[in-house]
């Protein structure tokens, strides 16, 4: 049976998501920004929390862990490199490890850059990717603990997933990301199409995620640093892609 995902806002602009396996009844929270909205989502779905899959150590992804674990005795799975900075970890995982949630199985991808140990969880059978603060819709996370080259490699790893993979990211930043992306590729038709779609969703107070990887590859400038026109638009024609990426990221930081 296919996985069911339930998405909801936490804190100011974080996304919480529950991933449910109808076969076993097990349910994972991907990150735990805060306990109350996750509890509300569990009540409204009737699902039982079995696991918390943590992408990285930032407080707006881990702040709900202690309260949720006390109530549900769920397993906390965390990146190997950040376990010491995440509360109540039961299992640590590295690149290519498998994580089971009932009958569902995720591959762990190490996607460092935003933080040094950031991981993403990819469920290939259901074509779902939970990418935390590495990739956003039409954007990417700030490079805080890693280098731009490291972040670009992480984005390439995600870009290699199948085109119809649905991308669940950690924040609702899509509107601001599109405004910025238009400064890099004002003529990009896929970006304009995404803008029209996102305008409608935000006006209706609906989430803009998940998007598909195909949409991101076509419109997200941070995944397009190796496209010659993108390099040219930031004055770096012929430069290595990671340098183009670094320039786009720097411009976004200043925007």
Q: Which residues are part of the catalytic machinery? A: 56, 58, 60-61, 114, 133, 171
By CB under 5 A, which span of 17-25, 55-63, 73-81, 222-230 interacts with Zn ion? 55-63
Which C-beta is closer to Zn ion: that of 10 or that of 104? Answer: 10
Residue 254's alpha-carbon distances to 32, 61, 227, in angstroms, are 29, 25, 22
Query: How far is it, in rounded angstroms, from Cα 255 to Cα 105?
Result: 39
Phi, psi of 2 (to 5 degrees): -65, 150
Q: How far apart are the first and last CA of the chain?
A: 44
Which residues within the stretch 219-248 sit at the binding site for Zn ion (CB under 5 A)?
Answer: none
CB atoms within 10 A of CB 194: 24
Which C-beta is closer to Zn ion: that of 11 or that of 88? Answer: 11
How many CA atoms, within 13 angstroms, populate the side-chain half-sphere of residue 59? 1
Query: How far is it, in rounded angstroms, from Cα 67 to Cα 158?
Result: 32
Q: Least CB distance from residue 47 to Zn ion, whole Å?
A: 25
**Applying CB under 5 A, which of residues 82, 133, 195, 216 lies at the interface with Zn ion?**
133
**Applying CB under 5 A, which of residues 21, 53, 54, 58 lies at the interface with Zn ion?**
58
How many CA atoms, within 13 angstroms, populate the side-chain half-sphere of residue 98? 8
Q: Which residues of 139-153 are buried (b: 16+ CB within 10 A; e: fewer)?
A: bbbebebbebbbbbb
Which C-beta is closer to Zn ion: that of 14 or that of 27? Answer: 14
Which C-beta is closer to Zn ion: that of 34 or that of 133? Answer: 133
Q: Least CB distance from residue 115 to Zn ion, whole Å?
A: 6
By CB under 5 A, which span of 6-14, 53-61, 94-102, 151-159 interacts with Zn ion? 53-61
By CB under 5 A, which span of 12-20, 79-87, 130-138, 233-241 interacts with Zn ion? 130-138
Q: Least CB distance from residue 144 to Zn ion, whole Å?
A: 7
Q: Least CB distance from residue 174 to Zn ion, whole Å?
A: 17
Residue 239's alpha-carbon distances to 68, 113, 246, in angstroms, are 47, 20, 11
Which C-beta is closer to Zn ion: that of 172 or that of 195? Answer: 172
CB atoms within 10 A of CB 85: 16
Residue 31 binds Zn ion (CB under 5 A): no
Which residues within the stretch 61-100 sit at the binding site for Zn ion (CB under 5 A)?
Answer: none
Which C-beta is closer to Zn ion: that of 11 or that of 201? Answer: 11
By CB under 5 A, which span of 41-49, 62-70, 125-133, 196-204 interacts with Zn ion? 125-133
Q: Give the three-class secondary structure for 77.
A: strand
Query: How far is it, in rounded angstroms, from Cα 6 to Cα 255?
Result: 32
Which residues in this chain contact Zn ion in the complex, by CB under 5 A?
58, 133
């Amino acid at each position: 049976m296919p996985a069911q995902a339930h998405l909801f806002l936490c804190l100011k602009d974080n996304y919480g998501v529950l991933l449910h396996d109808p076969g076993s009844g097990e349910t994972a929270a991907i990150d735990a920004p805060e306990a109350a909205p996750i509890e509300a989502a569990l009540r409204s779905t009737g699902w039982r929390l079995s696991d918390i899959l943590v992408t990285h150590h930032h407080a707006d992804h881990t702040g709900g862990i202690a309260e949720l674990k006390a109530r549900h005795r769920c397993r906390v799975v965390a990146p190997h490199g950040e376990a010491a900075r995440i509360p109540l970890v039961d299992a640590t995982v590295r690149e290519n490890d498998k994580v089971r949630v009932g009958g569902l199985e995720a591959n762990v991808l190490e996607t460092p850059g935003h933080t040094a140990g950031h991981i993403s969880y990819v469920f290939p059978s259901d074509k779902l990717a939970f990418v935390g603060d590495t990739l956003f819709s039409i954007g990417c996370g700030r490079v805080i603990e890693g280098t731009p080259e490291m972040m670009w490699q992480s984005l390439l790893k995600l870009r290699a997933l199948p085109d119809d993979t649905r991308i669940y990211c950690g924040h609702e930043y899509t509107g601001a990301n599109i405004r910025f992306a238009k400064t890099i590729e004002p003529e990009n038709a896929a970006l304009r199409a995404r803008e029209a779609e996102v305008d409608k969703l935000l006006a209706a107070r609906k989430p803009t995620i998940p998007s598909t990887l195909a949409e991101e590859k076509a419109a997200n400038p941070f995944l397009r640093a190796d496209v010659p026109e993108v390099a040219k638009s930031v004055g770096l024609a012929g430069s290595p892609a990671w340098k183009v990426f670094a320039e786009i990221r720097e411009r976004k930081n200043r925007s």
